[in-house]
Amino acid sequence: MAAGFWEELSMLGDATEMPSYSFLREATRLQETKHQNALMDLLKKYKLTANIPMTMLDIGNAKHPVLKPSDFISALSRERKLELLLCNHTGIDYQDFWHHWRLLQSDHPVFVHHSRRLRSCIPVWLFADEGTSIKKKAILVLQYQPILGWGSKRAEDVNMRGVSTTTRFLFSVMSGKVYAGKKKKQEPLHDLVSAFATEMGSCFNTPIDVQGVPWTKKLYLICLGLKGDLAALVKLGKLSRNYMRDTATGIGPGICHLCKAGQEGCGWDETDFLPMQRMKTNVPTPWLREPSLISLIPVSPSKKAEFFRLDVFHILLKGVFGDICANAIVTCYDFQMFGNLSLDGLLQHIFEDLLGIKRASNYPKAILSQSWFKGADTSTLCIYLESMLRDMLPIVPESHREYVNLIVAALKNANLFMRTLLHSGLFLLESERNTAIAAGSKVMSFFKRLAGMAYVMQLTRWKLQPKYHYMAEVIFAMEYEKQQDLPSLNPLSTATQLDEDFVGRVAGASRTVSSRATHVRTIERFLLELQLKW
C-alpha cells in the first residue's frame, strides 16, 4: 500500500515537503527488495507503533517475547497515556476501593505492605484464554486489566466500556503447538504463566515511576485474581477439583474448587443456601501442588481458592441462560406451538422473527440492531423469547400451560438478573444485591422444577450440568455477604465479554503473520493496533 502511494506521490514536484515522504520512500524500498518483514522496525523508527519494549525471557529451552507490566505502564506514563490504566480515577477512588476490599479480604498482604499508600495501589485482574490462530491451531493470550474501569453504558467503575485493545494490556501469547501434546505436558505454558506471576509479584513490591499524575509519583499493581472460562482456570490453576470431575455415582473428588460439591454427601445440584454453606466447611485446597499464580503473587491466605474467579459470561450467558433459551425453543417444537414446522423450519422462523422485532412496537426496545456481538447474543434471545412466549400463553393448551408459564418466568428472572448487574456499579447497592439474589434464586428454582416436569413427560430436557452449581456459587456469595453485612463485588467485574473480544483481535493478528515468528510478530501487531487506538 505504501508503495502504491509512493508511486503516485513521487511524481509530484513538491513531494519532498510531505511529512510522510521519507517513510513512504523507505517502505517502498522494503517492498522492492522483498524485505517486508522489516516493516515493523520501520514503523518503530517513525513512531507509528506503540513504543513499549519487548523483553525476551527464558521459557523452557527457548527465548520467548513478553511485554513486562512495568515496561508497559512506564511507556504509558512516558506517552502521557496513563488514563488507559487509571480510567479517570483518582487516589480517593482507590482508597475507597481498598476500604471495601478490606471488608472482604482483611488479611490481604496489601494492607500490611502498602497500608499508608493505598491510593497508589492499582487493583487488577489477570486473564487467560485460547484463541484460534493459523490453521485453526490454538494460541494462548495472557493479559491483565484494571478493575476500576470506564464503567458501562449504565453504571460506573466496572471495566466494560471502551475498545478492548486499550482497556486490556497484553503480556504475551503462546502458540498451542509449543505446549500441546502428551510429551510436553503443557510445561512451556506453565513456565510462561510462572513468568507472568513473577512479573505481577514484582509489581506488587516494586513501584513503577510515573509522570503527570497529581496525586502520586509511583504506582503499584495489585493482582486480586484470575478471570477466565472454567477451562482456563483449571489449566492455569492446576485445579484437581473441577467441572470435569463429575461422576455418575455422585461420589468423586469434587467438581468445584470453592467447595466440596460432587463429593460424598455433597450433591452439586443442592443449591439452597444451607446445603451450600455446609459444602464450604473444612474445604481442602483444590490442588495437589500450589500453582505459581498463588506462590508468586501475594494473595489473601484465607482466600487462595477464590483467586480463581468465576465468569458469569460463560457460566450464565453461555451456560444456564443459554440452556434456558435452547429448551424454550425446543419446547415450541415439542408442543407444536407453530404448527407442524420441522425443527429446521422452526429455527428459521424464530431467526427471521428475531431479526424483525426491532420494527415491531410490541417488543422491548432493548434490541435495536442486527449486528452480532458474542457477549450479547444470549441476552438478546432471552428478551425475545420472554416476550414471544408470554404473548403465546393464551393459545397454549391447558395441559402444557404451567410448563410454558414456568419457562416465561425463568426467562423473566434471567433478564432481570442480567439487567440488574448491567445497571450496577463495581460494588452492588443493597437494593441491587437483593434483586440479583431473588432473581437468580428463582431462575435456579424454576430450572429444577422444569427438569422434573420434563422427566415426568419423558422429555430429555433441562439437563442439570456443573455450570448450574457455579451459578449457585455466584448467588451464594452475594447472599453470604448480605448476611455478614459485607459489600458485594458486581459479578460482572469478572465477566469476560470484552476479554473475548480482545482475544479475538490478538488471535486474528496471529493469523496474518509468519508461522516461524508467530509470537514476536503477533505482539508487534498488537502494538501497532494499540498505537492506532490510543
The DSSP-derived string for 277-312 is HHHTSSPPPS-SS--HHHHSS---GGGSGGGB---H
Joined grid coordinates for residue 454: 420434563
Helix intervals (H) in 142-271: 164-167, 176-179, 187-205, 230-237
- pLDDT tens string for the chain (534 positions)? 555 555 555 655 555 555 666 766 666 766 667 655 666 777 777 777 899 999 999 997 899 999 999 999 999 999 999 999 999 999 999 999 999 999 999 999 999 999 999 999 999 999 999 999 988 999 999 999 999 999 988 888 999 999 999 999 999 999 999 998 877 788 999 999 999 999 999 999 999 999 999 999 999 999 999 999 999 999 999 999 999 999 888 788 999 999 999 999 999 999 999 999 999 999 999 999 999 999 999 999 999 999 999 999 999 999 999 999 999 999 999 998 888 888 999 998 888 888 774 445 555 544 444 555 666 889 999 999 999 999 999 989 999 999 999 999 999 999 999 999 999 999 999 999 999 999 999 999 999 999 999 999 999 999 999 999 999 999 999 999 999 999 999 999 999 999 999 999 999 999 988 888 899 999 999 999 999 888
Query: How far apart (Å, rounded) are the C-alpha atoms in residues 255 and 270?
Result: 13
Helix intervals (H) in 36-90: 39-45, 69-78, 83-86
378 close to 322: Cβ distance less than 8 angstroms: yes
What b/e readout covers 202-219, taking b as 16+ CB neighbours within 10 angstroms? bbbeebbebeebeebeeb
DSSP 3-state of 66: strand
